[in-house]
Structure 1
Amino acid sequence: MFPLNRKLPLPMNSTSSAQKWLLAATSISYVIVILDTSIVNVALAPLAATLHSTITGLQWVVSAYTVTFASLLLSGGALCDKLGAKNVYLTGLLLFALASAGCGFSSTLFALVFSRIVQGIGAALLVPASLALINSAFPESHQRAKAISLWAGCGGTAMAAGPLFGGLLIQLFGWRSIFLVNVPIALLGVVLAARIPAIKSTANRRPMDFAGQLLAIIALGSSIAVLIEGVHRGWRDPWICGGVTVAVIAWGLFIFTERTINQPMLPMKLFRLADFSAPVAVSLISGLVFYGLFFLLSLYFETVRGWSSLDTGLAFLPLTVLVTLGSFSAGILNRRFGAFWLIAGCCGLYAAGFAGLMILRENAPYWRIALCFPALGLAAGIITPVATTVVMGSIAKEQAGIAAGVLNASRQTGSALGVALFGGLLSAVEPLAAGIYFAVCLAIALSLLAGLLWITALSRNPPRL
């Protein structure tokens, strides 16, 4: 995706002023990218009221962003190589700002979903460009590790703070403010990024895999569309049957293309490595159950309980605080227990936490729900950095960009699938509490499946990290 050995012609004995500006700019961009994966969930009720949307429409508002982000992420790094990381970064940031303004001023559901798609395009450019800039500006491994940790930490904090920050904004200024707030932040990132020297790459540039990219968009987009619209239209509807056919053909052609061309955007041979395929699978399932949980509980708090967006954001605090704690403690826990047992244990935590949520009813006391949040938050916070460490240790250095792109794409794909699956259950099963019950049962089963896949794949040769 993007080379790791490009060097910025700056003094590297200590963190230079240019490095600080670069890190500030890239961290700001990552904050708004991650913020928009969680902040929208606390706006579901006011969005539905203003735009007269059903659960299906709300699924599209959430998933349009993540599906676009996931399907284009693998090509973002190749664009960095062809056009320059700084150019791609600035383009992505300006596109994200423009799309956020479009979201904020949307008067119809279609306009909002379209603007969310453009947001996803901007995010798919920003993330690999940010990593390319950081890798180039910090050639020393210990400096680069600290820089990436800070960059990732900002994203984790944004994800954790999203529900509360969003609830506060909505309470004070309405739901449009959660999108409009991105505009000044993005423009600040542009000002900071303007101080970054252009990076000249001497590495070989990877060609764009246009066929693979197009097939990935069709395959993922049609799959999510079928899951979202299937409940509403009926599974025997001609459009749904056609969508299933398109999805199956597109996935088949995508796998065939990536296996046969010389320089695919997703080298299928990487999945032969258990240390690569197992963390990717666990990351996808983790994203699915966690973001599906966010969508499910947001509707529960705002629709069943009738809580405001601010109250909903406050209700998520025991979950999001533990996500942050898990992220920052993952390195220490990994060194103490090892990745094999740590991720296996986190899959068990997921299952236990979801099992506790089976008591969800209209009159269930909040404290009983909140008791389940620490287990779920810790599991989500720990799995992401530990899985990343395992993946990065399983591949050659020159493939690090591709591996990072695949891992991020798997999480975003899982997020879109979670919203589609959980939202579909809520739409199909009446009353809402019964739909939540079945969704929680599905989350338990998937969590146990993730643990089984992890243990089965790596039990003979656990990762030594």
Structure 2
Amino acid sequence: MRRHLVPPARSSNLALLATSLGFVIICLDVTVVNVALARIREGLAIDSTALEWVVNAYTLAFASLLLSAGALADRFGARRVFVAGFAVFTCASVACGLSGGATMLIVSRLLQGVGAALCVPSSLALLGAAFPEPHARAKAVSIWAGTAALALGAGPLVGGVLVDCFGWPAIFLINMPIGIAGIWLTLAHAPDTVRHAARRIDLAGQTLAIITLAALTYAVVESGTRGWTSVTVMTGLAAAVATGAVFVTVEARHTQPLLPLTLFRNAAVNVSAITGLSLNFGYYGLMFAMSLFFQNARHDTPLETGLAFLPMTAVVTVANIASGTLTARFGYRLPMAFGQALAALGYFSLVFVHAQSSALAVALPLLAVGVGVALAVPSINTAVLTHVDPSCIGIASGVLNTARQIGGVVGVGVFGSLVRPELNDLAEGLHVAAIPAVVVSLSSLLTIVLGLKTSGSLVTDGAG
């Protein structure tokens, strides 16, 4: 008799592992490259400008394409777009590791950003499909966000170990086995989302969105070296404002827009986007500024710098799991507000940190920020999943992650312009940089309190 092979049952937990692996290597690459820059410059004999674009090419592509990637996930299915993004990212990582010159490395980093943009919105949509039950979904989102936050914070340490032991190409080549495993797990266990093939592609909207976000990202990235009042930066900001205004006009008149403006009638989407922007503004800016502070003011090595971040990153996963439990029991408003308040307290505490401060005095503000961000991030993702129609999850996730990415880019630009070794005492610069972080965090906290009228209970609110 002929035996029929029964396809293995899909596992939601393995689908969670697949999406987490994708998010982990994407977040890891945000920070892991920073500790390898000196070795890359020596190994490839490239100048400082090219070295800056090794970092910035990834950020530019990632931030510019998130909205379009979310729309593609809604139209073609989240699993298909996630796998495509994971494959592009993995292949680009290998190309980075094999690069023999600046041009190939920068182009490969650009392609990494393209792959990352395709992965992030679709990964959240896949989580929503794999965990339809609200309480299980809240906990899954907390684990997904926790592993990513842990990777983001552990980047300097992981990068330091890999570079010291195996050389700079290792920080890219390590992505290959992770990518292969993640793609296989996705195909085997992640359920696909409904494809809305009838939806037309809004080419005008996508083009304008890419130009707007690219101009904004470029201007903010260049502000660190050129200054905010330079012609280049001001031109980039003006271009972003102008094309952004045209984008809104085009989307308002389009029958099937890339970004349905009706999405912003949803309070949960608005508050989540504002909160995400503020969280990344402070967190990314802090990571950048503290890396300079540790290495230039305290004269730590790259590996010691990574270890200095360890207290903050060690509690991230625990705090994310706690956030999932709190969200499942009390709704998303409580962890969102409490996390933002705790992060604001951490930023304020930076004004008491000096180069001679004890390890504990430095660690406590970092712990407050790490726990606060880790509590808030899962709740903003859960709020979007809970209140957005499934047909728009991809683009809603794209909006949320675009807001977060813009916040991160602006945060690094602002902190970088205030904490510069050649211009000022790093401790004093850190104290000044803490002020906008506190203001932005408290403004977001006010938005949460006033903008979310209910607790965000997963039992009573539903997916309205």
Partner SS state of residue 402, structure 1: helix
Bigger mean CA deviation after superposition, 105-114 or 141-150: 141-150
Conservation of the 8 A alpha-carbon contact between 1:289 and 1:443: yes
Bigger mean CA deviation after superposition, 201-210 or 120-129: 201-210
C-alpha distance in 2 between matches for 1:412 and 1:349? 21
Conservation of the 8 A alpha-carbon contact between 1:339 and 1:390: yes
Query: Displacement, 1:372?
Result: 1.4
Matched, 1:252 2:245: yes
C-alpha distance in 1 between matches for 2:56 and 2:315? 25
1:14-413 maps to which residues of 2 (within 5 A)?
Answer: 16=9, 24-44=17-37, 46-47=39-40, 60-80=53-73, 83=76, 85-106=78-99, 111-131=104-124, 151-192=144-185, 195=188, 203-230=196-223, 232-235=225-228, 237-334=230-327, 338-413=331-406
Q: Partner amino acid for 2:378?
A: P
* Equivalent residue number for residue 438 of structure 2: 444
| TM-score, normalised by the number of residues in structure 1 | 0.84
Deviation per residue, 1:221-260 (Å, 9 max, x gap): 2122222324533555443343232122111112222222
1:200–1:362 CA distance, 2 compared to 1 (3 A): closer
1:393–1:121 CA distance, 2 compared to 1 (3 A): same
Deviation per residue, 1:87-134 (Å, 9 max, x gap): 434432232122212333445555544322211101122234445555
Unaligned runs of 5+ in 1: 1-9
Matched, 1:435 2:429: yes
1:426–1:105 CA distance, 2 compared to 1 (3 A): farther
Q: Percent identity?
A: 40
Partner SS state of residue 316, structure 1: helix
Conservation of the 8 A alpha-carbon contact between 1:347 and 1:379: yes
Query: Displacement, 1:439?
Result: 1.6
| TM-score, normalised by the number of residues in structure 2 | 0.84
Q: Partner amino acid for 1:184?
A: P
Conservation of the 8 A alpha-carbon contact between 1:168 and 1:309: no
1:184–1:446 CA distance, 2 compared to 1 (3 A): same
Query: Displacement, 1:83?
Result: 4.9
Q: Partner amino acid for 1:405?
A: G
Deviation per residue, 1:142-173 (Å, 9 max, x gap): 77667656544543443344333222212212
1:329–1:218 CA distance, 2 compared to 1 (3 A): same
Deviation per residue, 1:398-433 (Å, 9 max, x gap): 333332222222222222222222222234842333
Bigger mean CA deviation after superposition, 45-54 or 259-268: 45-54
- State the Cα RMSD in Å: 3.4
1:422–1:205 CA distance, 2 compared to 1 (3 A): farther
Conservation of the 8 A alpha-carbon contact between 2:65 and 2:117: yes
Query: Displacement, 1:282?
Result: 0.8
Partner SS state of residue 33, structure 2: helix
Unaligned runs of 5+ in 2: 1-5, 459-464
Bigger mean CA deviation after superposition, 176-185 or 78-87: 78-87
Query: Displacement, 1:384?
Result: 0.7
Query: Displacement, 1:327?
Result: 0.8
C-alpha distance in 2 between matches for 1:105 and 1:303? 31
Q: Partner amino acid for 1:301?
A: F
1:225–1:372 CA distance, 2 compared to 1 (3 A): same
C-alpha distance in 2 between matches for 1:338 and 1:147? 15
Conservation of the 8 A alpha-carbon contact between 2:88 and 2:111: yes
Conservation of the 8 A alpha-carbon contact between 1:93 and 1:186: yes
C-alpha distance in 2 between matches for 1:141 and 1:363? 48
C-alpha distance in 2 between matches for 1:351 and 1:86? 37
Partner SS state of residue 371, structure 1: helix
Q: Partner amino acid for 1:224?
A: T
1:234–1:276 CA distance, 2 compared to 1 (3 A): closer
Partner SS state of residue 372, structure 1: helix
